[in-house]
Amino acid sequence: MGLWDKLMGEFVDVIQWTDDSNDTLVYRFERQGNEIKYGAKLTVREGQVAVFVNEGQIADTFQPGMYELKTNNLPILSTLQAWQHGFESPFKAEVYFFSTRRFTDLKWGTQNPVMLRDPEFGPIRLRAFGSYTIRVKDAPTFLREIVGTDGRFTTDEITHQLRNMVVSRFANILGQSKIPALDLAGNYDQLGQFLQQRIAPEFEAVGLELPSLLVENISLPREVEAALDKRSSMGIVGNLDQYTQFQAAEALRDAAANPGGGSEALNMGLGLAMAQRLNETLARPPQPSPASQTAPMPPPPLPGAKPYFVALNGQQAGPFAMEELQRQAQSGQLNRATLVWAQGMANWTQAGEVAELNALFAHLPPPLPGA
C-alpha cells in the first residue's frame, strides 16, 4: 500500500447535507460509486431524515443526530449485505436526505370556474384560490411513491399534482355545502378546515402531511360583479327623484361656473333640458310615504245608505251618517217627531215617517194615542 493510499484510508468519510435552497424536498448524497467507508460519520440535522437504499431496496432510516456507520447501527443494511460477522471494508449504498421542515405558501386555485346553483342568483360560476403547506411525514413512503430515483426532488415537481387534488375536492365540497354566494366570505375558515380534513388522508398516502390549508378568496365573474355593484348602487341612491334633482342642480351649477366650457347653443340646450327635467320632477305630485301606503283605507259607504240633515233645537245640523243617527236615537236626541231631510226628499219630514229610519226607533215604544 502506498503512502497516499494509507493517508486516504485514515480519513473518515463525512456524509451530510446542508440545504441552501427553499424548495428542495429530497437530495441524494453524491458519492463516487456510492462507496462509503466503514466507520464513516453520518450527520443528520434538525429538520432532516436520512434513508439508506441498497441495490434499489430501502434499508435503514436515521433521525436527526450524528452516527458512526458500523454494523450495529445498520441492521437492515447488514442483513441485505449478508454481513454476518461485521465488516471493515467500504460498502456501496445510496443515501437520500429528506427535508422534514414545513414548506409554506404553496398556491392553489381554480383554473376554470366552478358551476354551482345558488339559491339567490340561480346558476353561477365561482373562482377560488388560496394557499397550503406540506411536510414530509413518512420518508420511505414518499421515496417509494413519488421520488423514485430522482437525485434532487423539489416542490415544483409535485405542487401541480397536489393543486389539482385540492381544486377537485374543493369543487365537490363547495357544491355540497349549499352556502349562498354572498355568505361564502363568512365561511372561509370552515371551508378551509373541512377541505383540509377531507384531503389529508390522500396526502398521507404518498408520505406527506398537510398542516394547513387556507381559502383566501372566492369570487364571481366580472360581469356578475358589475351587475351586483349596480344593484348595490341603487340601494345606496335610495329615492331616485331626489337623486335626479340633486344631479340636475349639480349640472346647472357646473354649467354656470364654466360658461366657456362649450358652445352657446350647447350650453343653452343643456340648460333647457335640465330645467325641463327639474320642472317635471317638482311638478310631480308627492309620492305617498311608506306608512301611508301601508295604512288601511276606510271602506266605502254601504250601498243605499245616505246621510240625513236633522233639525235640532230649531237649527239645521248634519248631514249625519246612519251610525250617528243611531247614536242620537239611543240618546233620545233623535225621535220619531224630529224633522229630517236627505237628498231626493221634497220637504222636511218627521223621522218616524221615513221608512229607512224606522229601524232606529225599534227599541222605543210607539207614541201615546191622541198625542
Taking Cα atoms as reference points, which of 202, 25, 22 lies closest to residue 100?
25
Q: Which helix (H) or strand (E) holds 175?
A: helix 159-177
Place of cell 276606510: 298
* Contact of 44 with 95, CB cutoff 8 Å: no
Q: Are residues 107 and 94 in the same domain?
A: no
Mind listing the pLDDT tens digit for each residue in 39-76? Answer: 889 999 999 999 999 888 898 999 999 998 887 778 77
Whether the per-residue pLDDT at 8 is higher than 50: the answer is: no
H or E element at residue 98: strand 94-99
Report yes or no on 296 lying in a domain: no
Chain segment 111-157, per-residue pLDDT in tens? 888 888 888 888 888 989 999 999 999 999 999 999 988 999 999 99
Cell matching residue 206: 404518498
166 and 205 both lie in a single domain: yes
Look at the chain and report how many structural domains it folds into: 4
Are 186 and 269 in the same domain?
no
In a domain? residue 169: yes
Task: Indicate whether 24 belongs to any domain.
Answer: yes
Which CATH number is 199's domain given?
A: 3.30.479.30
pLDDT tens, residue by residue, 280-311: 655 666 655 554 455 555 455 455 567 878 78
Question: Which grid cell is 121?
Answer: 342568483
**Nearest residue to 196 (alpha-carbon basis) of 182, 209, 184:** 209
Domain membership of residue 324 as a residue range? 308-361
Q: How far apart are CA 218 and CA 108, in angstroms?
A: 12
Stated pTM of the model: 0.58
Is residue 126 located within the same domain as residue 198?
yes
For the chain, give the percent of residues with pLDDT over 70: 72
Tell which residue, 30, 149, 142, 159, has the closest CA to residue 95: 30
Among candidate residues 201, 224, 247, the one where a domain is terminated: 224
Going by C-alpha positions, the residue among 69, 8, 10, 11 that lies closest to residue 38 is 69
> 272 and 254 in one domain?
yes
How many Cβ atoms sit within 10 Å of the Cβ of residue 39?
Answer: 11
CA 361, CA 371: separation in Å to the nearest integer? Answer: 17
| Cα end-to-end span (Å), the chain | 164
**Quick check: is 293 in a domain?**
no
Q: With cut-offs at 50, 70 and 90, classify the pLDDT of residue 3.
A: very low
Q: Are residues 95 and 123 in the same domain?
A: no
198 and 145 fall within a common domain: yes
164 and 60 assigned to the same domain: no
Domain identity same for 43 and 85: yes
Do 39 and 148 lie in a common domain?
A: no
The residue from 99, 114, 144 where one domain ends is 99
Note the Cα 327 to chain centre separation in Å: 65
Q: How far is Cα 193 from Cα 213, in angstroms, rounded to an integer?
A: 7
Query: Looking at the domain assignment, is residue 300 inside a domain?
Result: no
Residue 261 located in a structural domain = yes
Residue 2 has pLDDT above 70, yes or no: no
Q: Are residues 12 and 86 in the same domain?
A: yes
What DSSP letter does each residue of 112-153 carry, written as one string?
Answer: SPEEEEETTTEEEEEEEEEEEEEEES-HHHHIIIIITT-SEE
Q: Is residue 289 part of a domain?
A: no
Residue 230 inside a domain? The answer is no
Confidence of residue 326 (pLDDT cuts 50, 70, 90): confident
